[in-house]
Each structure stands twice: as structure tokens, then as C-alpha cells.
């Protein structure tokens, strides 16, 4: 499994996904599920689509992130690692608190299924410095 992030849902600063498309940002988020599990954690599952050339922006999560690229291509940037291009069929994992970013490349949007296991009561994502 690749150890870097695809955090196209990073602009969300709450424990749930925004459920509307923001045409000006080029990002569409669709919440699929949110459950309080395991103890002291919330697991959030969502679908994210990012328009070609759009970047999620550097950010972190207060828990592990894992996911799967469904369509398109993205360049993943994670602190301390070289950029990696991912395509449909690739999966990823990133530990809690590691700054990272993702940018959709190519001519099609990138679509990702993301799962976050975050500390209960903390925001899903925070901007990284």
C-alpha cells in the first residue's frame, strides 16, 4: 500500500463533509457515512471529486487517512517524500498529523473514496503551516 495522502476532502474543517459542490473551488464532496467508532474516534467515509488542475491545499488530519482512487490521476505531495502520481486503482494511507496535499492532473477530474478515523470532537482537517 502506498504511504502518502490523497486528501481531496481537506478543505472541510468539521467532522463531517460539506455536501455541496463549490464551483469556484473545483471540489465536490459527497458524505457517505459517519459513525462514532472505535472508542473515542469518529470514522468518516466520503467521496471527493477534484477538477483538473485544482489542489486541495496543504493540511493535516487528527487521525489516520486511507482511501482508493476511483477515477482520474492525482499528484500527491507529503512532507519528506517525493511527489507521487496516483491513478485509478491505487490506494493510500497516511498517519495522523502529517502535512500533505493533492492536485488533480490530466484532463479528467479525480474521484476518490476516502476514509478518516479521527479523534472524536476534532475537525476532520486543519490547514498545515
Q: Is residue 37 part of a domain?
A: yes
Q: Give the residue-averaged pLDDT of 78-85.
A: 90
What pLDDT digit, counting tens, does each position of 82-121 carry? 999 999 999 998 889 999 999 999 999 999 999 999 999 9
What pLDDT digit, counting tens, does each position of 18-71 carry? 444 455 689 888 999 999 999 999 999 999 899 999 998 899 999 999 999 999
State the total domains in the chain.
Answer: 1
Q: Which grid cell sits at 113?
A: 473514496
Q: Is residue 14 part of a domain?
A: no
The CATH number of residue 43's host domain is 2.60.120.10
| Sequence-separated (6 or more) residues with CB below 8 Å from residue 24 | none
Number of helical H runs and strand E runs in the chain? 0, 11
Q: Is residue 53 part of a domain?
A: yes
Q: What pLDDT score was predicted for residue 14?
A: 32
> Using an 8 Å Cβ cutoff, are 60 and 117 in contact?
no
Q: Is residue 1 part of a domain?
A: no
Q: Is residue 62 part of a domain?
A: yes
Residues 124, 119: Cα–Cα separation, whole Å: 9
- Residue 94 belongs to what domain range? 21-127
Residues 39, 58: Cα–Cα separation, whole Å: 28
Q: What pLDDT score was predicted for residue 78?
A: 87
Note the pTM of the prediction, 2 decimals: 0.80
Amino acid at each position: 500500500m502506498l504511504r502518502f495522502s490523497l486528501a481531496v476532502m481537506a478543505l472541510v474543517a468539521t467532522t463531517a463533509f460539506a455536501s455541496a459542490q463549490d464551483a469556484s473551488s473545483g471540489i465536490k464532496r459527497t458524505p457517505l457515512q459517519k459513525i462514532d467508532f472505535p472508542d473515542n474516534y469518529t470514522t468518516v467515509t466520503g467521496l471527493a471529486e477534484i477538477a483538473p488542475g485544482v489542489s486541495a491545499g496543504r493540511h493535516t488530519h487528527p487521525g489516520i487517512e486511507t482511501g482508493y482512487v476511483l477515477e482520474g490521476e492525482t499528484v500527491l505531495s507529503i512532507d519528506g517524500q517525493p511527489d507521487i502520481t496516483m491513478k485509478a486503482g491505487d490506494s493510500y494511507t497516511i498517519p495522523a498529523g502529517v502535512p500533505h496535499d493533492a492536485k488533480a492532473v490530466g484532463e479528467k477530474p479525480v474521484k476518490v473514496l476516502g476514509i478518516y478515523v479521527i479523534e472524536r470532537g476534532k475537525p476532520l482537517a486543519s490547514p498545515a503551516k
